């Protein structure tokens, strides 16, 4: 006889949840639990079969929480579809396993039980899941019968831009419209054969229009990512660029051999890679130090203290590995051990000139695909890239530039991957330090789990303190790596209670899902399936699907709460920790998960991916990076709209008028003479002997001597350095040796943090810091006066002299006035940029002169002394180390040479500014002459007269463009 079962009314049951919901002291399984759950786990997950109601989905319990509309799979199923076919279709959309219930519900068994489901031909793309990600989020094979959601893949270009003026939609629309107008203008100017004549004015005008039609804001901001190996920089770069696996990591998760790598934009689908090699002098110095490091360890290791021996062994291993990579089978350690240092270095340098990759690294390598580019970068930056038994490329490479069409780079950003400041390779470490001084934003990258103690972050913040850099931010990676049990154990108060509430709610939902599966198992075991059982089974499937979506939502809610709560705590703690280190105290801290980003990046539809991508933090960091370029790009774009375009239109209008003019020869001659006088007068005022621009070098040098150079006190500064050295000499041998190994900047438990270079420079900083600030203020004031002089001179010349010169000839006045005003705006902006660049160079010069950085003047002067001290070992080595350092500090030439170098460098900067400023003014005076030639040149008039129909067409186009530009300029004014 067939078994029948009696259905009990469904409702709360004493054992429905009580046996599954953990108490407050029960450990909760980690949401990051990896690997399969064993048989014991599966058996313990079962519970007694609950009663179940047969209410329709429309009569679902009103007390249950509404699904989160922003969460994937939160939409409700279509009710009332109980036939076998619809059940089978819906089974295709079910997530039937989870990290907590593996194998609990087999799709094959369901298909066998429901023949109407048939064999599906849908894609079986493997599901990429975070341990804590939405279990129902698939790569694209889930489908509902009725869906209005967007099935398109995620497009990073659709992310909301930063909320600033440059990214304002009205401004961007105005900018795009203006470029399209210039493309149209270029087409009109090219509609005659005049532009085909090489020396024609129309060719120049048409080329200018074409250039404006293709105008793009140039790179203006450089953002560096710096951190120790293995912190996730490469993965972070891939996420920000939105190119999976471009910058590869090793199998162990750490970065491949690190080379400075710049990522720059180009508007093509392929990838271009440009390599910059070390110079011969740089290679020689590196080889010399590697040979000395290896030989010192080989010959003297047994005479060293334990700490010195470990440090020496690390340096020797690094040297040996690098030399093996450079020279492959040519290199043997015996060669280093059995020959003199000088002979070894000369031989290695000859090998380097023979083997270095310069012979096949000419220009850019172009890779057509992402995989090809990734493989090329791997060959360039790791030993695996070398041919079998051949030399590697990376030891010879100073910098790599990668050009690609990445959205984050499209607005003028350059992303740079840098070695850490604690890199054992001193050449690459020093490159990083110098590079950071040039960057507009610095991201110190570290794993979130050790953010408060990460030495890489500390080294970047120390650099900021020493140099006054205020553009340092921190990115904590691996923000998704958080366990429920650890969070519940570590958190207190409201945070712990909320996490417990979310965990209980999830466990309850999972228990309900398990109960439904048990009911379905019982139905499947029946020997005879009645019509009533079929209906019940359909209802159970629908309820199971709703419950699984609820589980997904609750998992995500708990994950989001844990990640955001931990992120907030870490951000607050880091800001407190480095509040007094970063100038200004405004430290940005971001948290990111590359795992969350990539495992959900390609979900379909887009709204499924959005919550996870926001939670990953990558979208926020990308938006922050793009906002860094906004101010500068706004200036460039505004100059384009308000200066370049009106200037061109004014010149074209003059070209049209010149050909259509009716003035007789006498009047034309008078116009030419008036414009000649105007041009000559303007040139004399701007670059003549009486111009403030005529001797910028002398004026700025006088200010430097008065405020800085004449205040040098070499004897007193040397005495201060000697006293600092005596303080260091009083410390224990181990501490003294440790500071020597770190080139004076180190932290120990006994001594704390010290920078010997800073301490030795205490007296010079006391004497010159304030005078330098006054000097730089004075220089900035002089530069402002020079810029104002140029702007006022042009205004006066255009507004007064031009009108006086052409008072009897009003026809060309308006377009000439417009064109020259545009020229004035462009010149004034270019001078401001030039002066701002000079001021930035002065700030870097101050860092070189007065900071204790290893690559600054004092640090470079002491570099060899630290190196020589580190080579001292054996009995009495402490005294010999002290003698080396103290002798260097006693040398009065140390500070005398520094001041001479400072003076020479400043004079070179001032002379370059002088030259660049005069060249800039001359260039723009040439452009002004070109505008004047539109009126005074006989050749221009003859050219314009040759094709009256074309001239009329151009004139009409210019009139229309002037009208079209009015609303664009209005939008620019208030965007």
Residue 874 domain-assigned (yes or no): yes
pLDDT score for 113: 35
DSSP annotation of 50: P
Residue 10 has pLDDT above 60, yes or no: no
Residue 211 domain-assigned (yes or no): no
**Does 530 lie in the same domain as 580?**
yes
Higher per-residue pLDDT: 242 or 151: 242
The first and second tokens of residue 874, run together, are 């054996």
Residue 74: pLDDT band with limits 50, 70, 90: very low
**Does 237 lie in the same domain as 306?**
no
Most trustworthy range by pLDDT among 29-33, 62-66, 149-153, 779-783: 779-783
Compute the distance between CA of residue 677 and CA of residue 704 in angstroms, rounded to an integer: 39
Lowest mean pLDDT among 94-98, 675-679, 870-874, 914-918: 94-98
In Å, how far from its chain's centre is CA 624?
A: 9
Compute the distance between CA of residue 482 and CA of residue 671 in angstroms, rounded to an integer: 79
Residue 658: pLDDT band with limits 50, 70, 90: confident
pLDDT score for 292: 94
Instruction: Find the domain containing 815 and state its range.
Output: 663-936
For residue 217, CA distances in Å to 222, 435, 629, 823 come to: 14, 23, 10, 19
pLDDT, average across residues 468-492: 93
User: Contact, 889 vs 725, CB < 8 A?
Assistant: yes
pLDDT score for 363: 67
Residue 695 domain-assigned (yes or no): yes
Residue 43: pLDDT band with limits 50, 70, 90: very low
**Does 483 lie in the same domain as 505?**
yes
pLDDT, average across residues 224-236: 91
Residue 424: pLDDT band with limits 50, 70, 90: confident
Tell the burial category of 347 from Cβ atoms under 10 Å away from its Cβ (0-12, 13-18, 19+): middle
Residue 386: pLDDT band with limits 50, 70, 90: low
In our burial notation (b when 16+ CB lie closer than 10 A, e otherwise), range 800-810 reads ebbeebbeebe
**Does 868 lie in the same domain as 846?**
yes
Residue 396 has pLDDT above 70, yes or no: yes
CATH of the domain at 497: 3.40.50.300
Task: Give the torsion sign (CA, 307, 309, 310, 311).
Answer: positive
**For the chain, what's the residue count?**
975
Peptide bond into 844 cis (omega under 30): no
**Does 415 lie in the same domain as 356?**
no
Compute the distance between CA of residue 190 and CA of residue 202 in angstroms, rounded to an integer: 9
| End-of-domain residue from the set 383, 399, 415 | 399
pLDDT, average across residues 488-506: 94
pLDDT score for 150: 52
**Does 409 lie in the same domain as 394?**
no
- List all residues 6 or more positions away from 722 whose beta carbon is below 8 Å from its beta carbon: 886, 889, 890
Compute the distance between CA of residue 249 and CA of residue 235 in angstroms, rounded to an integer: 7
pLDDT, average across residues 755-760: 96
pLDDT score for 99: 33
Residue 506 domain-assigned (yes or no): yes
Compute the distance between CA of residue 402 and CA of residue 398 in angstroms, rounded to an integer: 14
Compute the distance between CA of residue 355 and CA of residue 336 in angstroms, rounded to an integer: 19
Residue 622 has pLDDT above 90, yes or no: yes
pLDDT score for 390: 77
Residue 922 has pLDDT above 60, yes or no: yes
User: Contact, 212 vs 182, CB < 8 A?
Assistant: yes
Residue 103 domain-assigned (yes or no): no
Compute the distance between CA of residue 260 and CA of residue 240 in angstroms, rounded to an integer: 17
Residue 153 domain-assigned (yes or no): no
**Does 346 lie in the same domain as 410?**
no
**Does 285 lie in the same domain as 384?**
yes
**Does 602 lie in the same domain as 568?**
yes
**Does 535 lie in the same domain as 466?**
yes
Residue in 726, 848, 834, 725 with CA at minimum distance from that of residue 790: 834
Compute the distance between CA of residue 794 and CA of residue 693 in angstroms, rounded to an integer: 14
- In 335-456, DSSP assigns E strands to 364-367, 397-404, 413-418, 441-447
Give the orientation angle of helix 762-796 with respect to helix 665-687, to 10 degrees.
Answer: 170
In our burial notation (b when 16+ CB lie closer than 10 A, e otherwise), range 568-606 reads eebbeebbebbeebbeeeebbbbbbbbbbbbbbbbbbbb
The first and second tokens of residue 510, run together, are 């999972």
In our burial notation (b when 16+ CB lie closer than 10 A, e otherwise), range 241-252 reads bbbeebbbbeee
CB atoms near residue 924 (< 10 Å): 20
Residue in 664, 738, 686, 708 with CA at minimum distance from that of residue 846: 708
**Does 613 lie in the same domain as 525?**
yes
Residue 219: pLDDT band with limits 50, 70, 90: confident
pLDDT digits (tens, 9 = 90+) for 45-59: 333 333 333 333 333
Higher per-residue pLDDT: 825 or 14: 825
Residue 534: pLDDT band with limits 50, 70, 90: confident
Residue in 186, 179, 177, 181 with CA at minimum distance from that of residue 204: 186
Place of tokens 């094959």: 108
- In 614-665, DSSP assigns E strands to none
pLDDT score for 659: 80
Residue in 565, 622, 563, 570 with CA at minimum distance from that of residue 593: 563
pLDDT digits (tens, 9 = 90+) for 289-315: 999 999 999 999 999 988 899 999 999
pLDDT score for 663: 59
Residue 158: pLDDT band with limits 50, 70, 90: confident
Query: How many domains does the chain divide into?
Result: 3
Residue 81 has pLDDT above 70, yes or no: no
pLDDT, average across residues 80-104: 37
Residue 228 domain-assigned (yes or no): yes
Higher per-residue pLDDT: 456 or 27: 456
| End-of-domain residue from the set 582, 611, 628 | 628
Compute the distance between CA of residue 613 and CA of residue 602 in angstroms, rounded to an integer: 10
User: Contact, 258 vs 451, CB < 8 A?
Assistant: no
Residue 30 domain-assigned (yes or no): no
Compute the distance between CA of residue 772 and CA of residue 843 in angstroms, rounded to an integer: 10
Compute the distance between CA of residue 437 and CA of residue 859 in angstroms, rounded to an integer: 15
- List all residues 6 or more positions away from 525 whose beta carbon is below 8 Å from its beta carbon: 3
CA angle (930 as vertex; 925, 935 as ends), nearest 5: 125
**Does 861 lie in the same domain as 798?**
yes
Compute the distance between CA of residue 614 and CA of residue 622 in angstroms, rounded to an integer: 11
Residue 836 has pLDDT above 60, yes or no: yes
pLDDT score for 806: 64
| End-of-domain residue from the set 380, 399, 418 | 399
Average pLDDT, the chain: 82
């Amino acid at each position: 006889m067939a078994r029948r079962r009696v259905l009990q009314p469904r409702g709360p049951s004493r054992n429905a949840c009580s046996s599954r919901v953990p108490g407050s002291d029960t450990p909760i399984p980690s949401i990051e639990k990896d690997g399969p759950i064993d048989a014991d786990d599966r058996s313990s997950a079962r519970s007694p079969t609950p009663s179940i109601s047969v209410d329709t989905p429309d009569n679902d319990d009103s007390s249950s929480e509404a699904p989160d509309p922003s969460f994937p799979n939160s939409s409700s199923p279509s009710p009332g579809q109980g036939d076998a076919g619809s059940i089978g279709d819906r089974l295709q959309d079910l997530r039937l396993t989870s990290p907590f219930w593996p194998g609990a519900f087999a799709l094959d068994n369901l298909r066998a039980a429901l023949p109407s489901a048939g064999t599906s031909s849908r894609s079986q793309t493997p599901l990429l899941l975070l341990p804590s990600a939405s279990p129902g989020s698939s790569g694209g094979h889930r489908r509902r019968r009725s869906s209005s959601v967007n099935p398109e893949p995620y497009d990073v270009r659709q992310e909301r831009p930063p909320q600033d003026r440059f990214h304002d939609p009205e401004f961007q629309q105005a900018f795009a419209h203006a470029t399209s107008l210039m493309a149209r203008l270029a087409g009109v100017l090219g509609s005659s054969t005049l532009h085909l004549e090489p020396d024609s004015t129309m060719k120049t005008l048409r080329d200018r229009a074409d250039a404006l039609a293709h105008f793009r804001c140039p790179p203006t901001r450089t953002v560096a990512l710096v951190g120790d190996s293995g912190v996730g920089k490469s993965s972070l770069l891939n996420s920000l660029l939105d190119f999976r696996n471009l910058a590869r990591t090793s199998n162990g998760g750490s970065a491949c051999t690190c080379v400075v790598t710049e990522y720059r934009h180009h508007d093509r689908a392929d990838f271009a890679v440009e390599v910059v090699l070390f110079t011969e002098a740089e290679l020689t110095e590196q080889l010399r130090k590697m040979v000395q490091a290896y030989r010192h360890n080989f010959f003297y290791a047994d005479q060293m203290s334990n700490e010195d021996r470990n440090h020496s062994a690390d340096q020797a291993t690094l040297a040996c590995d690098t030399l093996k990579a450079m020279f492959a089978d040519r290199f043997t350690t015996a060669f280093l051990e059995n020959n003199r240092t000088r002979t070894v270095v000369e031989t290695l340098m000859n090998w380097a000139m023979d083997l270095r990759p310069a012979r096949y690294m000419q220009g850019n390598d172009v890779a057509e695909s992402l995989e090809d580019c990734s493989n090329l970068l791997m060959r360039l930056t790791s030993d695996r890239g070398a041919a079998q038994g051949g030399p590697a490329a990376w030891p010879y490479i100073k910098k790599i530039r990668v050009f690609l069409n990445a959205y984050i780079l499209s607005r003028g950003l350059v992303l740079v991957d840098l070695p850490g400041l604690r890199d054992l390779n001193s050449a690459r470490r020093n490159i990083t330090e110098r590079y950071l001084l040039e960057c507009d934003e610095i991201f110190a990258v570290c794993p979130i789990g050790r953010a408060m103690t990460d030495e890489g972050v500390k080294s970047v913040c120390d650099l900021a303190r020493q140099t006054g850099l205020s553009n340092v931010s921190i990115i904590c990676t691996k923000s998704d790596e958080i366990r429920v049990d650890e969070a519940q154990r570590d958190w207190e108060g409201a945070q712990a209670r909320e996490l417990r509430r979310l965990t209980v709610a999830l466990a309850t939902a999972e228990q309900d899902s398990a109960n439904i599966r048990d009911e379905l198992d019982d139905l499947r075991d029946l020997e005879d399936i009645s019509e009533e059982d079929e209906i019940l089974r359909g209802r159970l499937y629908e309820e199971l699907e709703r419950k699984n979506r609820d589980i997904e939502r609750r998992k995500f809610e708990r994950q989001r709460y844990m990640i955001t709560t931990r992120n907030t705590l870490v951000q607050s703690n880091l800001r407190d920790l480095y509040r007094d280190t970063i100038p200004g105290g405004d430290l940005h801290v971001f948290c990111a998960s590359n795992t969350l980003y990539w495992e959900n990046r390609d979900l379909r539809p887009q709204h499924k991916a959005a919550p996870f991508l926001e939670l990953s933090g990558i979208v926020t960091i990308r938006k922050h990076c793009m906002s860094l370029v906004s101010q500068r790009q706004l200036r460039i774009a505004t100059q384009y709209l308000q200066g370049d375009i009106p200037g061109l239109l004014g010149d074209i209008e003059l070209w049209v008028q010149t050909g259509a003019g009716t003035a007789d020869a006498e009047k034309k001659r008078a116009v030419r003479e008036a414009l000649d006088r105007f041009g000559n007068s303007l040139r004399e005022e701007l670059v003549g002997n009486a111009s403030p621009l005529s001797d910028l070098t002398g004026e700025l040098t006088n200010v430097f001597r008065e405020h800085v150079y004449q205040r040098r006190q070499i004897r007193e500064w040397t005495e201060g350095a000697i006293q600092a050295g005596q303080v260091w000499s009083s410390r224990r041998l181990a501490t003294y040796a440790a500071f020597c190994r770190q080139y004076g900047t180190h932290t120990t438990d006994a001594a704390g943090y010290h920078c010997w270079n800073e301490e030795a420079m205490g007296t010079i900083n006391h004497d010159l810091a304030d005078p330098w600030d006054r000097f730089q203020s004075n220089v900035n004031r002089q530069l402002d006066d020079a810029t104002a002089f140029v702007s006022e001179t042009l205004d006066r010349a255009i507004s007064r002299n031009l009108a006086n010169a052409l008072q009897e000839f009003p026809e060309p006045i308006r377009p000439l006035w417009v064109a020259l005003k545009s020229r004035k705006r462009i010149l004034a902006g270019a001078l401001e940029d030039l002066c701002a660049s000079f001021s930035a160079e002065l700030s870097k010069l101050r860092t070189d002169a007065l900071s204790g950085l290893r690559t600054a003047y004092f640090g470079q002067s002491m570099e060899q002394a630290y190196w020589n001290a580190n080579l001292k070992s054996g009995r009495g080595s402490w005294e010999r180390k002290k003698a080396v350092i103290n002798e260097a500090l006693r040398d009065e030439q140390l500070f005398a040479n520094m001041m001479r170098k400072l003076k020479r460098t400043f004079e070179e900067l001032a002379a370059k500014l002088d030259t660049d400023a005069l060249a800039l003014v001359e260039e723009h005076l040439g452009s002004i002459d070109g505008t004047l030639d539109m009126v005074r040149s006989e050749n221009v008039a003859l050219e314009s007269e040759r094709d009256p129909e074309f001239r009329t067409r151009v004139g009409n186009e210019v009139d229309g463009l002037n009208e079209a530009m009015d609303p664009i300029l209005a939008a620019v004014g208030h965007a």
